[in-house]
Amino acid sequence: MITMTLGEIADIVGGTLTGGAQADTPVYSSVEFDSRSLTPGGLFLALPGARVDGHEFAAAAIEKGAVAVLAAREVDAPAIVVPSVVVEDSNADIYVHDPNGHGAAVVAALSKLARNVVDVCVAGFQLNVVALTGSAGKTSTKDFIATILSQDGPTVAPPGSFNNELGLPHTVLRCTADTKYLVAEMSARGIGHIKHLTEIAPPKIAAVLNVGSAHLGEFGSRDNIAQAKGEIIEALPAANAGGVAVLNADDPFVAQMASRTQARVVWFSTNAPTKAPANGSPVHNPDYWASDISLDAVARASFTLNTKDGSWPVTLQVFGQHQVANALAAAAIAVEAGVAPDVVVAGLESHSATSAHRMDVQTRADGVTVINDSYNANPDSMRAGIAALAYTVSGRPDSTGWAVLGQMGELGEDATQAHAELGSELAKYNVSQLITVGENPNCAALAQSAADLGVQTSVVPDVESAVELLGRRIKRDDVVLVKASNADRLWRVAEALHNMAPNLSQSQNPSQSQNQSTTSSSANGDSRRNVEGQ
């Protein structure tokens, strides 16, 4: 963080110095809510949680080197105390265990401090703020952008998915006088959330990747999701002030957002420019588009990056054809920020997965390939993961593709139907083996649908059972996709497979198993399903 005194911070956040805190004491290190991450000269955020309250760790934070605590009540340490805040009708996890408004007060103060840092760095040190949102692919695209921009100057980007009321300002406070780029990933659980985040870190360039059905249960409709996502480009400055909106021409919900911004609009697409159709429907010819897309044996894409100023071949090191759209969005943001195209291409080609459990593809000594995409899941990303699994298997004639799937969270009343529809995706791509992990209506709907469509389906209650089953049945060169929402913690399946002794035998029949039963489909007496209960 840029160096400030405790007195300056207190003035910015509207707090009072207590516990012997001195106004002229400098804060010159990081601002942390985890005391284990503190370094000398830092500031500790006292946040209440499900099991512990950060206020109780104030003294320990000072012993770790913090110069003070940002708190909502007096503590036994030097502190900046801010008044409590009441947050009504919030669905944020950080407020669940906050009956007194202490956490809300600290987060509000953190936001004020972060906005001040942005203003100082933009005005005094020429910081460039770029932002992005979307229903799927935000974190992967954010990582692409960070890799590219870091080749042009010092860049701050959030680790993982630090993209909410706490994660965004925490990331902002990592900016210093040397930072050239801040990459702000912005998420929403309702209308108005992204608007709030843009008030903390106002972007000059912003992208909307897509509008899917993630968080449909919280929003109620895709129209509402689009309304929320579009708030990011409403926050942009006008075109004559340098504002640039980067929009996905292939997504009709995103395409309709162009009228919501005064910024200059540029388009990206995985399709080449086309003439307007005879029916007069609008066509947004892209400024950045991909052609000649191909995939290697493990679904890493190569393509030609086209702009109105030239074309460049690109070979990605990350996995899945859906990464092409992510790479295009990142390229568009970087070029519009002033990065030379050859630097952009070098960044795209050097980039590897940096956020944990997102399309992390590893191959064991026995040729078993594990696609670990277990951090998050929604219908769009599930389809992309299944497609990547199918493509990887297609290049291995004697291998079996395994989809190890858990629940997709936050889909609301349509959740059961959305899970059932994944059965059709598995059948369409000829995925031969499905393991559903968890005893709940959503996994049951997925298992039933897939089995009815001829997918060999195993139902297991937990991660340990899934690992045991895979250990018995996978063979050389098989491909395993592990995917679910993060709450299911299915990444433990992927880690167990990596740590498992490789199977160096030549083959094993995946249909051979114990406790297998065959029953008639409830939907059609002529169709059969094989469901293995573990």
Both tokens of 492, joined, read 């433990």
Q: Is 261 annotated as a binding residue?
A: no
- What topology does CATH give the domain 126-350? UDP-N-acetylmuramoyl-L-alanine:D-glutamate ligase (3.40.1190)
In the chain, which segments carry CATH 3.40.1390.10?
4-107
CB-based contact 534:436 (threshold 8 Å)? no
pLDDT value at residue 474: 93
Q: For domain 360-533, give its CATH number from 3.40.640.10, 3.40.50.1820, 3.50.50.60, 3.90.190.20.
A: 3.90.190.20
DSSP state letter for 489: -
136 in a known ligand binding site: yes
Around 138, how many Cα atoms within 13 Å sit in the side-chain half-sphere?
A: 31
Q: How far apart are CA 75 and CA 56, in angstroms?
A: 8
Count CA atoms closer than 13 A to 335's CA, side-chain side.
Answer: 24
Backbone angles phi, psi at 343, to 5 degrees: -70, -40
- What are 85's strand-pairing partners? none
Strands (E), 62-194: 68-71, 79-81, 128-133, 155-156, 181-185
Contact 411, 484 (CB under 8 A): no
pLDDT in tens, 455-472: 999 999 999 999 999 999
The DSSP annotation for 263-304 comes to SEEEEEESS---PPPTT-------SEEEEEEEE-TT-EEEEE
- Say whether 135 counts as a known binding-site residue: yes
Give the per-residue pLDDT at 279.
54
Confirm or deny that 141 is annotated as ligand binding: no
With the C-alpha atoms ordered 64, 66, 124, 204, is the resulting torsion angle positive or negative? Answer: positive
- DSSP state for residue 241 in the 8-state scheme: G
Closest by Cα among 132, 127, 118, 125 to 332: 132
Q: How would you classify the pairing of strands 16-18 and 79-81?
A: antiparallel
Q: What is the DSSP string of 18-82?
A: ETT--TT-EE-S-EESSGGG--TT-EEE--B-SS-BGGGGHHHHHHTT-SEEEESS--SS-EEE-
Q: Which residues of the chain have pLDDT under 70?
A: 88-93, 214-217, 275-283, 354-357, 503-534
Average pLDDT, the chain: 88
- The SS3 call for residue 496 is helix
Backbone angles phi, psi at 306, to 5 degrees: -110, 135
With 0-12 / 13-18 / 19 or more C-beta atoms within 10 angstroms meaning exposed / middle / buried, residue 464 is: middle
pLDDT digits (tens, 9 = 90+) for 83-119: 988 776 666 667 777 778 889 999 999 999 999 999 9
Eight-state DSSP code of residue 379: H
Contact status, residue 425 vs residue 408, Cβ threshold 8 Å: no
Within the chain, all domains assigned CATH 3.40.1190.10 are found at 126-350
288-307 b/e with 16+ CB inside 10 Å = b?
Answer: bbbeeeebeebbbbbbebbb
CATH 3.90.190.20 domain extents, the chain = 360-533
pTM: 0.77
Q: Which CATH class is domain 4-107?
A: alpha beta
User: Is residue 496 within 8 Å of 465, Cβ to Cβ?
Assistant: no
pLDDT in tens, 427-453: 999 999 999 999 999 999 999 999 999
Half-sphere exposure of 305 (CA within 13 A, CB side): 27
In the DSSP assignment, the letter for residue 249 is: T
* 134 annotated as ligand-binding: yes
